[in-house]
Amino acid sequence: MARSSAARGTRAATLSDVARLAGVSVSTASKALNNRNHVHAQTRERVLQAAAQLSFSPNSLARGLLAGRTGTVGLLTSDLVGRFSLPILMGAEDAFGAGQVSVFLCDARGDAIRERHHVQALLSRRVDGLIVVGSSTDPRPPLADAVDVPVVYAYAPSEDPEDLSIVPDNVGAGRMAVEHLIACGRTRIAHISGARHYSAARDRAAGAQEALDAAGLALVGEVAYGAWEEGWGRAAAGMLLDRSPEVDAVLCGSDQVARGVLDTLRERGRRVPEDVAVMGFDNWDVMTTGARPQLTSVDMNLEELGRAAARALFEAIDAEHGRGVRTVQCRVTVRGSTAAEG
């Protein structure tokens, strides 16, 4: 008895068992189960019945060993707790799940040693490909090991331009946000962002500036960089109102920052959206729908990003491996904090 638990039965049925029960050879049983050519209908029926009776399920290990393909991919993330890797992971699982692919999940915790360890383990399990999900949109070093399967970097691009990376379009997101505010009739727009050393913060600000330039507008004050926290939003909004009371819209670096800004505006007696429109980034539902009024936000389309990464990996497995950085479009989700009727 290899398995020791009393609750569990004997070992799983094998193809030989099915063949024996059906009174045919293993090769015939295999062909019958895989709908291969030239098996008598009656024979096939017997085999199918035998397989059902034994609740046979083919051993993927043996199959993978033979085929040189396992139908598995590795998903290497850097911060499972993080807010961003999760929807990506979800999208990837989604795109794979329909087919015959299973996903190995690994969390490197931002530790290079652990990452190499995981990569080695995945390679030894003969994954068909790898998706590497970063924890911020800042570029990350490529995998340390030589990997003989395709790799797609998601969210954080690889520093090596020869690698294939799929990232959100932060510049476009900034542009879209300002365009939305302008469409709402706002002209005196301020920008309270997150931590300056994040490329996401700088890219969004750059996109916002593009849209302002295109409309012949100027930002109210400077971009206020700080932290991705509500507290920063509250503090920055206070300073903004002191210095530039004429502001009629605040673009915030994240939904959390926006929540803080909303709090300060409320306390200072500014009505949202009548006096000041507010919007954030990320479209994190728990932040946006809990806010008063509900928060307009730019959705970074992370699930779609995950799906795109999965699709790209499929392509790379089956055909040619792409290169360079591809971006995924974002979209504005309008709620009460910018729409007057909200």
66 near DNA (CB under 7 A): yes
Which CB, 44 or 188, lies closer to DNA?
44
Residue 14, sorted as left (phi over 0), alpha (psi -120 to 50) or beta, turns out to be beta
Which CB, 7 or 41, lies closer to a second copy?
7
Which CB, 171 or 236, lies closer to a second copy?
236
* DSSP β-ladder status, 296-299 and 331-333: antiparallel
Q: Which amino acid is at 318?
A: D
Helix, strand and coil content of the chain, in percent to the nearest 5, comes to 40, 15, 45
Distance CA 274, CA 332 (A): 19
Number of helices (H), then strands (E), in the chain: 12, 11
**Are the C-beta atoms of 312 and 166 separated by less than 8 Å?**
yes
Distance CA 43, CA 229 (A): 67
3-class DSSP state of 270: coil
39 near DNA (CB under 7 A): yes
122 near DNA (CB under 7 A): no
8 binds, among a second copy, DNA, none (CB under 5 to 8 A by kind): a second copy
- Min dist. Cβ of residue 177 to a second copy (A): 22
Question: Judged by CB under 7 A, which of 4, 5, 10, 34 binds DNA?
Answer: 34
Number of residues that bind DNA (CB under 7 A): 32
End-to-end Cα distance, the chain: 66
50 near DNA (CB under 7 A): no
- Min dist. Cβ of residue 5 to DNA (A): 18
38 binds, among DNA, a second copy, none (CB under 5 to 8 A by kind): DNA
Which CB, 230 or 248, lies closer to a second copy?
230
* DSSP β-ladder status, 189-192 and 249-252: parallel
- Min dist. Cβ of residue 247 to a second copy (A): 23
Of the listed pieces 21-29, 110-118, 139-147, 280-288, which binds DNA according to CB under 7 A?
Answer: 21-29
Which CB, 5 or 37, lies closer to a second copy?
5
42 binds, among DNA, a second copy, none (CB under 5 to 8 A by kind): DNA
Distance CA 334, CA 180 (A): 9
**DSSP letters spanning 130-149:** EEEE-SSSS-BPPPSS--SS
State the burial class of residue 123 (Cβ atoms within 10 Å of its Cβ: 0-12, 13-18, 19+): middle
Question: Judged by CB under 7 A, which of 52, 62, 105, 218 binds DNA?
Answer: 62
- Min dist. Cβ of residue 230 to a second copy (A): 4
- Min dist. Cβ of residue 148 to DNA (A): 12
283 binds, among a second copy, DNA, none (CB under 5 to 8 A by kind): none
**List of residues contacting DNA (CB under 7 A):** 11-12, 14-16, 23-28, 30-31, 33-34, 36, 38-44, 56, 58-59, 62-63, 65-68
